Amino acid sequence: MHKHHRALGLASVPNNAVTGIDVARSCPAEPVTLVRPHAARRAARFFVEKFPGRTLYAVKANPSPDLIRILWDAGVTHYDVASIAEVRMVRATLPEAVLCFMHPVKAEEAIAEAYFGHGVRTFSLDSMEELDKIVRATRAPDGTPAADLTLCVRLRVSSDYSKLSLASKFGVSPVEAKELLIAARQVADALGICFHVGSQAMTPDAYAQAMERVRQAIVEAAVTVDVIDVGGGFPSSYPGMEPPPLELYFETIHRAFEKLPVSYSSELWAEPGRALCAEYSSLIVRVEKRRGDELYINDGAYGALFDAAHVGWRFPVTLLRDTESRTKPMAFSFYGPTCDDMDRMAGPFMLPADIAAGDYIEVGMLGAYGCAMRTGFNGFGTARTVTVADEPMTTLYAGRTAEPASNVVKL
Ligand SMILES: *Cc1c(COP(=O)(O)O)cnc(C)c1O
């Protein structure tokens, strides 16, 4: 029995619940997005219960309103939004949520609409220009400056421990941080320091090192700080990228936070994107053609597999067939459906050697930066969504929270 086969996971699923293989049996001609509300709920409970501070969901990882409602119901009350469209969408979905506008470079109109129209009070910045912009955009019509701003200065930190760098675009350098922290302190009701260690940080050391930067910045600027925001970067599990347990990240962050001169008076925040939603969804694709070890599938670089194509990300795959293959797994690469040569996913993706046109594959762990990236290029943009109750292909959370790790779907 090959462990690539989905049938293994079915034992724990309630009899009447839909699973990935049921969807494959219906022979869909277009890709199908599977969503697993129980997986998102479990991840959210884990962060809410175990992260030693406040958890903000970074909406860009997966902006699905359904997902956002699930996270809210599981106790996530704060949302990291990065564009005015995200502000509007989360506000329309969750009227009571706290929104934090954490893109360090914003349009002045977006700041004003967020502040006056949607109650946003928390903004990040990494330059004096942005600070001036925020102050201007939030002034009352009579010119009175806003007295209720939480301003988070984004520090530049190393992405050395992460699979996807976020080190070059944003963040104030250690030399400029002092001046910006002092200036922001003067106009902020609450002052924060934030950073992002890069996505899929493979060791907690990434945060320890960044927190050392934070400590130096606080000491040099000699300001009081009310919020320490360690950003995103919390990993999920993929082939060849199995991270240490998230508890170790939380312990490392907590220890570093306690060593800061401001820990007694400040709040600790985190902004996980990937870790909260990677397990939420996967994708069923059909093999339209096989050429040697290359499979032509009906989704790709312009669909949910952007990262698989452009940064060589390896997602787990499984063959969905009623009768199990008796052949050994071998390495395949994928071509997506568009006419573009770049619509290619190198993998390697391990699948049974007898896979052929007409077979269905589930590509797992696409809840973060997968389904969110879909475009309509070349007419291949559609994917139906089906809620399923089976387990995601891998999980960091099963049996790790007070929630029963069952598959009960609450629709
Ligand atoms: C993208 C992003 C996040 C989420 O990052 P993950 O690696 O998905 O956890 C959090 N904060 C900011 C400011 C971001 O840009």
DSSP state letter for 12: G
Q: 135: closest CA among 151, 155, 153?
A: 151
CB under 8 Å to 141, separation ≥6 — which residues?
Answer: none
Q: What is the pLDDT of residues 107-141, one digit of tens each?
A: 999 999 999 999 999 999 999 999 999 999 999 99
**Which protein residue's CA is at the shortest distance from atom 3 of ligand 1?**
232
Ligand 1 centre to CA of 276 (Å) is: 11
Give the model's confidence band at 24: pLDDT under 50 very low, under 70 low, under 90 confident, else very high. very high
Query: Could you tell me the two tokens for 65?
Result: 């309103």
Residue of 67, 79, 80, 276 best suited for mutating to test ligand 1, as the one with most atoms within 8 Å of CB: 80
CATH topology for the 10-36+278-387 domain:
Lyase, Ornithine Decarboxylase; Chain A, domain 1 (2.40.37)
Q: Which atom of ligand 1 is nearest to the CA of 164?
A: 7
Q: How many CA atoms lie within 13 A of 334 on its CB side?
A: 36
CA of 353 to the centre of ligand 1 (A): 38
Mutation choice for ligand 1 from 196, 200, 227, CB with most ligand atoms inside 8 A: 196
Q: For residue 259, how far is its CA from the centre of ligand 1 (angstroms)?
A: 24
Convert the pLDDT of each residue in 369-402 to its tens digit: 998 899 999 999 888 999 999 999 999 998 765 4
pLDDT tens digit string along 315-365? Answer: 999 999 988 889 999 999 999 999 999 999 999 999 999 999 999 999 999
For ligand 1, the distance from its centroid to the CA atom of residue 58, given in whole angstroms, is 6
Question: How many Å apart are CA 214 and CA 212, to the nearest integer?
Answer: 5
Ligand 1 proximal residues by C-beta, below 6 Å: 58, 60-61, 80, 102, 196, 199, 231-234, 271-275, 368
Nearest-atom index, ligand 1, CA of 60: 1
Q: Is the pLDDT of residue 404 over 80?
A: no
Would you state the pLDDT for residue 366? 97
Residue 278 has pLDDT above 90, yes or no: yes
**Residue 200 Cα, ligand 1 centroid: separation in angstroms?**
10
Domain residue spans in the chain? 10-36+278-387, 103-270
**For a substitution probing ligand 1, which of 271, 280, 366 has the most ligand atoms within 8 Å of its CB?**
271
Ligand 1 atom with minimal separation from the 275 CA? 9
CA proximity to 260, closest of 196, 185, 301, 210: 210
Q: What pLDDT, on the 0 to 100 scale, is given for residue 86?
A: 98
Q: Return the amino acid letter for 327.
A: T
Q: What is the average pLDDT across 227-241?
A: 97
Instruction: Enter the DSSP assignment of 391.
Output: P
pLDDT of residue 155: 97
Atom of ligand 1 nearest to the CA of 154: 13
Assessment of whether the complete model's pTM goes beyond 0.85: yes
pLDDT at 91 over 70: yes
Domain 103-270: state its class: alpha beta
Integer Cα distance of 221 and 218 in angstroms = 5
Q: Could you give the residue numbers annotated as active site?
A: 339
Q: For residue range 54-74, list pLDDT tens digits in order.
A: 999 999 999 999 999 999 999
